[in-house]
Amino acid sequence: MNFNLTTADRNSVWGLLQKKLEDYYAHTERLKTSVYPTRKEVHEVLSANFERGRSTQEAIKEVFHGLSKYAVHTPHPSYFGMFNPRPNFPSITADIISAVMNPQLAAWGHAPYAVEVEHLLIQEIGKKFGYKTPQIDGVFATGGQEAHITGMLCALHEKYPDFARTGARGLNKQPVVYCSSASHHATIKAARVCGLGADAVKYIEVNEQQEMRVDKLEHQIKADIRDGLQPFFVFATMGTTGSGAIDPIKKIAVLAKKYNLWLHADAAYGGAVRLTKEYSKLLDGIERSDSITFDAHKWLSVPMATSLFLTKHPYVLGRAFSISANFMPQEEDEIDRLGSYTHSIQWSRRFIGLKLYMPLLVFGWEGYEQTIMHQIKMGQYPKEQLTIHGWKLYNKTELPIACFTDEQHEYDLNFSKYIYDSVLEEGSAWIINYPYEEFATLRACITNYDTNEGHLDALIEVLNRKREQYIKKIAPK
């Protein structure tokens, strides 16, 4: 068996791949945004027989067929769903290069160039958030979830000096984590993975714009101290997943200081505005956080599994993750700190940072700023158009997220469900339904740098049409 294939085979495979990939990339729009098959239908296109191999060309054709037919096409310009982007082209080349050259980032000595690229990006992005060198440290992670877990583990090791040895078993007071009731549930998963359990997380009420109420936060902290618990960690969300709300981080920072809490800024989505002059100020105060989650695989338009964890406590990652292993190359202290086995949840590690380095080499911060500004501008357009067409907006954010419905049906779950289901079924656009406070709203978000007014007009058209159908056929008379 020749795992390399032959040179002739490889050339033919590269040719086929190039054609297929370019076809998808250039014409994503021709596909339906999604189809909803049964499991049986999906199984029909899977090859379950591995007894004997087949040609790479056949294998590639099967995979393209399956993925084209049965996936929500997040790179589609009418995908207005979660924060899944269309990856920019340079970042795609990065993933291919990493796959072929397969650098191992566990130790500096194995991949000095790759480790230094990531170190440089951590420093540069740390500065964008107002952290100061030489305190900036961090690590690339597979997603916001891993970055959150990393942050919580750092805080546990910082606040409880014996944590590395005893784990949660050694705590004599129960630790408490705070986040707003509109925050992402990754907070809960982080608490569970860290062994604290979901009950350690207390949700703090939000105001009508879904921003954390700081008075409620302080009230809860005081109550927990009175009950003999130990408040130790607070998440401030910088752009909630549902509505783009930004928690008042400056005020949260004051409480974090007063009660000795680790302040973690969840900028998984909203962090991107920090790359613009005009909207950077929305995140003012983030420099007061102890650590930050920032997903490049959302608004920075790079492929999945690219996130950053940043902190201004340069030794805390080592405290949380360093394990001396005698089979690992022994390196000088400073560079020892850079390899992922001493400062990441991961051990063997892919060159995650290349997916951000490539587009930065090609477009620079300038290119990112223009693109993010364009998306913010595109976000304004449907908000105006929705209002013109008799829809009501519920959230007030400058970020390109609209939570809306028809005011006549704002409490009508059947209405939002009907619109959602029927829009998705048509396959011309992809949105979600989202409960905004007590209102059954729909949510559309610009996550694609290619989305233009034409796509948005088409979205409004289908929404208006579905609303009419609902009123004619389904609405209770």
Ligand X SMILES: *Cc1c(COP(=O)(O)O)cnc(C)c1O
**Binding-site ranges for ligand X (CB under 6 A):** 83, 143-145, 184, 186, 237, 240-241, 266, 268-269, 295, 307
- Least distance from ligand X to the Cβ atom of residue 243, Å: 11
Cβ distance to ligand X smaller for residue 350 or 466: 350
Rounded-to-integer distance, Cα 424 and Cα 36, Å: 9
**Can you state the angle between helices 453-469 and 354-388, rounded to 10 degrees?**
50
Q: How far is the CB of 170 from ligand X (least distance, A)?
A: 28
Residue 201 CB, nearest distance to ligand X (Å)? Answer: 14
Least CB distance to ligand X at residue 193 (A) = 12
- Number of residues written out for the chain: 477
In this structure, what are the phi and psi dihedrals at residue 120, rounded to the nearest 5 degrees? -60, -45
Q: Give the nearer residue to ligand X in terms of CB position, either 78 or 180.
A: 180
Beta carbon nearer to ligand X, 253 or 267: 267
Compare residues 144 and 379 and give the one whose CB is closer to ligand X: 144
Residue nearest to ligand X (CB): 144
Least Å distance, CB 117 to ligand X, is 21
224, 246, 457 from 376: Cα distances, Å: 40, 16, 16
Place of tokens 């992670």: 141
CB closer to ligand X, 238 vs 358: 238
What residues pair up with 441 in beta bridges, in sequence order? 434
Q: How far is the CB of 310 from ligand X (least distance, A)?
A: 14
Please list, in sequence order, all residues whose beta carbon lies within 8 angstroms of the beta carbon of residue 445, skipping any fewer than 6 positions away: 80, 81, 82, 83, 379, 400, 401, 402
- The first and second tokens of residue 401, run together, are 């997220």
Of 185 and 258, nearer to ligand X (C-beta) is: 185
Identify the CA nearest to 419 among candidates 388, 368, 464, 363: 464
C-alpha closest to that of 194 among 95, 106, 109, 264: 264
With respect to ligand X, which residue has the nearer C-beta, 28 or 241?
Answer: 241
Strands 230-237 and 175-180: parallel
SS3 state at 43 = helix
Q: Could you give the CA distance from residue 373 to residue 395 in angstroms, rounded to a whole number?
A: 20
Short-list 227, 183, 173, CA closest to 203 = 183
Q: Could you tell me the smallest distance in angstroms from the CB atom of residue 75 to ligand X?
A: 17
Smallest separation (angstroms) from ligand X to the CB of 269: 4
Tell me whether residue 305 is exposed, middle or buried, using C-beta atoms within 10 angstroms of its C-beta: 0 to 12, 13 to 18, 19 or more.
middle
Using CA atoms, how far apart are residues 157 and 318, in angstroms rounded to an integer? 10
Question: What is the rounded distance in angstroms from the CA atom of residue 155 to the CA atom of residue 96?
Answer: 35
Q: For residues 104 and 311, which CB has a smaller minimum distance to ligand X in the complex?
A: 311
Considering beta carbons, is residue 266 or 450 the nearer one to ligand X? Answer: 266
From first CA to last CA, the distance across the chain in angstroms is 69
Nearer Cβ to ligand X (171/179): 179
Question: Taking the complex as a whole, how short is the minimal distance between the CB of residue 150 and ligand X, in angstroms?
Answer: 12
Least CB distance to ligand X at residue 266 (A): 5
Angle at 214 between CA 212 and CA 219, to 5 degrees: 120
Q: CA 201, CA 207: separation in Å to the nearest integer? A: 19
